[in-house]
Structure 1
Amino acid sequence: MSKILIVEDETIIRTALRKLLERNQYEVCEAPSVKEATTKHNLKDFDLIISDLRLPGAPGTDLIKLAGDTPVLIMTSYASLRSAVDSMRMGAVDYIAKPFDHDEMVTAVKRVIGKAKAANKAANASQTASHTIAGIIGSSDVMQDLYNRIHKVAPTNATVLIHGETGTGKELVARALHEESSRSNHLMISVNCAAIPDTLIESELFGYEKGAFTGASTNREGLVAAADGGTLFLDEIGELPLEAQARLLRVLQEGEVRPLGSVESRKVDVRLVAATHRDLRKLTKEGKFREDLYFRLNVVQLELPPLRERGRDIINIAESLLQRYCAQFGKPQLKLSNAAMDAIMGYNWPGNVRELENAMQRAVILCEDSTEIGANLLSLDQEANQLEDDGTSILEAPRLANRGNGRSSPTEDLSLEDYFQRFVLEHQDTMSETELARKLGVSRKCLWERRQRLGIPRSKSSAK
């Protein structure tokens, strides 16, 4: 069991955080100040220290040097990105803003402790090109290919463009690229371009000089400069305004950044990782994205597969989420019923892992059974999941062929189940599950259920 020390002077926050962590199977100790933490505890006995930034007597950042190799996670209610960046420059492994979301805190704790343990295990062990990535669950062929590409490109300084649907884990991949690079001891600054108004994005990224615009009362360093020596992750880069795109292009071409209102540029050494769910090539043709920037970004492209194409990984992820939420909500360790697993495998998951997380959390909260989760608790939108074909479905063909035809035909002796079985066996090596379902005029869930009932195994190619 991992051991955590909480250093927080607010009793209510300290107690709430202790209870949250204990529900998630951590051993927890408390201290209200840096002085009491160091006098009553041996900091090196802990797997993680979580400390408030502002504490009576001494700031929480003092613990970073005192803790040695024990990682320190900084909490701050002064939720300026600047103070958080300063904390990480001093050696904090991560930061989290108060009031924090419970899931966000548990995820951060697991990530930090997991990374520290992984680093210890890897100290005397050689790593293969196909080992998994921290925080990502999946052993399907398509994910093994992704892991291989991450391991190959991470040690380089190449710019990476991550493409994938919403909820596929683009930021996890970006973090893996950073942590497996030579820049891992520097900052990774993450920016969601869609979350910052167009009028502020340039000043946030590139900084500004005093007097550059109304309200610019001091000089301010931009996030590009803050990431100097490390990695800058620009999520949803397709939403970046054209003016900001031009400035970003200069960063990539010249390795320098010029704050708003300044006549001087500053050299920066930043590795750029960008992500988008949009087709940037199409946006360039529409004049909404600079073509020269697109070619600068698209040095190495990583394609993240949607959840529906990851085969058995879906169940493995669901079971992992189930364990997490059972611990979080104080429920007994539940399991998925056979019907629930069929429903999960047959659903399209348009929201990918994020939607699966919501479904599992909802199921655990609503479950009144002490042993398993039923399919009804997942509340999946099966109507929206239906895949309809524009023409006649394959399964209707035998019926229509015999309708109004008194003579014997090759298909009239075949039942619909026989026809279904023959069609699937003949085409599953060349079609994906989605294509098979569309041709048959049924949903992926229906296809999965009929496979189960008829005992038709999925071929390796159709399982992806």
Structure 2
Amino acid sequence: MPRILIVEDEEIIRSALRKLLQHAGYEVAVAGSVDEADSGYELNDFDLIISDLRLPGAPGTELITRAAATPVLIMTSYASLRSAVDSMKMGAVEYIAKPFDHDEMLAAVAAILQRRQAPDQHAADAPEEPAGNDGTIDPSTIMYGKCDAMQKVFTLIRKVAPTETTVLIQGESGTGKELAARALHLLSPRAARPLISVNCAAIPESLIESELFGHEKGAFTGAVSARTGLIEAADGGSLFLDEIGELPPEAQARLLRVLQEGEIRKVGSTQSRQVDVRMIAATHRNLKAMTRTGEFREDLYYRLNVMQIRIPPLRERQGDILGLASRFLKRQGERMGKPGLNLSPEAMRALERHRWPGNVRELENAIERATILCDTDVITPGLLDLESEGGDVNIPETLVEGNNEQMRPRDNDATSDLSLEDYFQHFVLENQDRMSETELAQKLGISRKSLWERRQRLGIPRKKTTGS
């Protein structure tokens, strides 16, 4: 049985990860800091160390040198993504951004251990086997799907993964595009190298080029030292660009050169360097239509759209809904100390009737919420908190993240009779010509990513600004 050491100072994360790995059949030990791990265990006796990047005392990267014979997987928040890239340069075998997806974590662990057990056998040498009886892709358990549409996706992934072909993954938010990208990477000849994932919508436009391509010292105000870009960090591996339709024009032009010439040039540099990166992109937008309006470069679109994989929305996977719900229910029940939970027949029918605009992510959230609220062994429709107005229209999620007084319309406002989503649309359309995306998000009391997601859901076009 493989032995794994978790080094994490947050008790909730440490406990949840320990239970996840133990349930997957691993022997797990835990520590709250690098020094505690080093003094309490023989580090090289473990098959894998999973460590948070930022810990009390020494950082998690210190384990790379203290446990020279053991692979180290670094966990990091998006805010410290650059540090995670630096940690991979120092010798970390993989990084995962927090909050992590459970299937993503298990897949990464399985891939690292497989490489450790058979270092001379390339990951792509494994025979191509059909999806298992439980509907998961072999060899990892990344994605689930028994329906014909998902089986076609799995077949396409297995065929295109061993190639160097650029892949464009299309699908609505919450369908599992990042999991498909991870499957493509883990089934490719690049599985032993890093997979760098970037959400293009989550990075401010003024920083996107610096994040992707890196920058030289003094290239702009605040560039106090040279930094490696995410594309360079993925050298030899794969780069997953999620929501690529949100890239600004300048970054699109630079990315086209990477695809055409295989080279990058840091911001502020006159020198280019070659990179060997397999590109995987994803979007929920119609890039072809965006080329006609000038929002997306047509030449870049055709470079990206060599092989297209469409992840079907959950409403087109009727036969998978209860299977996914069962998997999520089992996982959440074990995490929360409520094993043996079951869905009532009425709850099952409610799940099957729901349209799932948020797709698999919405289903997982509904199951987690019901698990928390359930006081018996049976989950009823009320605990799922699905829409109650006929089935096709979802109740809007609360717009305000936390208590934000400025987002509450006053009684004497013209907007006082609007719903939260009506108010959001009214506010954005009224102010987007004079505010940047960051300013809009701050005024609304939400994150920039949440602003972008609500734009997509409500169909509010984004005004392209000429400044940063």
- Indicate the TM-score class for this superposition, using the shorter chain for normalisation: 0.7 to 0.9
State the match for 2:5 in structure 1. Answer: 5
Give the CA deviation at 1:269: 1.2
Return closer, same or farther for 1:33/1:286 CA change in 2, 3 Å cut-off.
closer
Report the residue type matching 1:59 in the other structure: E
Give the letter for the 1:165 counterpart: E
In structure 2, relative to structure 1, the CA distance for the partners of 1:334 and 1:276 (3 Å cut) is same
Distance in 2, matches of 1:105 and 1:349, equals 19
Pairing 1:82–2:82 present: yes
Deviations 1:312-334 (A, max 9, x none): 21111100000111111121320
CA distance in 2, matches of 1:77, 1:339: 39
1:254 corresponding residue in structure 2: 261
Output the amino acid matched with 2:284. Answer: H
1:375 aligns with 2:385: no
Moved over 6 A (4+): 117-125
Following superposition, the deviation at residue 116 of structure 1 comes to 5.0
- Does residue 1:221 correspond to 2:228, yes or no? yes
Q: TM-score, normalised by structure 1?
A: 0.73
Quote the offset at 1:115 in angstroms. 3.5
Match of 2:462 in 1: none
Question: How far apart are the structure 2 equivalents of 1:316 and 1:254?
Answer: 45
CA distance 1:347–1:290, shift in 2 (3 Å)? same
Match of 1:190 in 2: 197
Instruction: State how far apart, in whole Å, the 2-side matches of 1:77 and 1:192 are.
Output: 13
The 5 A counterparts of 1:223-238 are 223-238=230-245
The CA deviation at 1:357 is 0.9
Find out whether 1:160 has 2:156 as its counterpart: no
Aligned-residue identity in percent: 56
Contact 1:93/1:112 (<8 A) preserved:
no
How far residue 167 of structure 1 moved from its aligned partner, in angstroms, is: 0.4
The count of aligned residue pairs is: 375
Distance 1:88 1:161 in 2: 26
Contact 2:167 2:305 in 1 (8 A): yes
Residue 216 of structure 2 is aligned to residue 209 of structure 1: yes
Corresponding position of 2:183: 176
Q: Equivalents in 1 of 2:126, 2:193: separation in Å?
A: 24
**Structure 1 residues 49-448: aligned runs within 5 Å:** 49-53=49-53, 56=58, 59-63=62-66, 65-67=68-70, 71-75=71-75, 80-96=80-96, 101=99, 104=100, 106=102, 109-116=105-112, 126-130=127-131, 132-133=136-137, 134-369=141-376, 371-383=377-389, 385-386=391-392
CA distance in 1, matches of 2:300, 2:283: 14
Q: 2:167 touches 2:280 (CA, 8 Å); kept in 1?
A: yes
Cα deviations across residues 40-64 of structure 1 (Å, max 9, x unaligned)?
5455665642234465599122255
Structure-2 residue corresponding to 1:20:
16
Go from structure 1 to structure 2 and tell me whether the alpha carbon gap of 1:138 and 1:45 turns closer, same or farther (over 3 Å shift). Answer: farther
Equivalent position SS for 1:211: coil
2:239 counterpart SS class: strand
The change in CA–CA distance for 1:106 and 1:303 in structure 2 (over 3 A counts) is closer
Partner SS, residue 232 of structure 1: strand
1:357 and 1:293 map into 2 onto residues whose CA distance is 34
Distance in 2, matches of 1:384 and 1:224, equals 47
Distance in 1, matches of 2:18 and 2:233, equals: 35
Partner of 1:439: none
Q: 1:105 to 1:38 in 2, by over 3 A?
A: farther
Unaligned runs of 5+ in 2: 394-468
Counterpart of 2:214, as a letter, is G
User: Structure 1 residues 39 and 386 mapped into 2: Cα distance closer, same or farther (>3 Å)?
Assistant: closer
* Counterpart AA for 1:30: V
Say if 1:87 and 1:263 are closer, same or farther in 2 by CA, change over 3 A. closer
Q: 1:77 to 1:386 in 2, by over 3 A?
A: closer
TM-score (norm 2): 0.72
The 10-residue stretch of structure 1 (79-88 or 373-382) with the greater mean CA deviation from structure 2: 79-88
Q: Does the Cα contact within 8 Å between 1:283 and 1:289 map onto a contact in 2?
A: yes
Asked if 2 retains the 8 angstrom alpha-carbon contact of 1:18 and 1:28, the reply is no
Q: Distance in 2 between matches of 1:126 and 1:382?
A: 48
Question: Highest CA radius of gyration, 1 or 2?
Answer: 1
The separation in 2 between residues aligned to 1:158 and 1:345, in whole angstroms, is: 37
Q: CA RMSD in A?
A: 3.0
**Pair 78,152 (structure 1): closer, same or farther in 2 beyond 3 Å:** closer
Q: CA deviation at 1:145?
A: 0.8
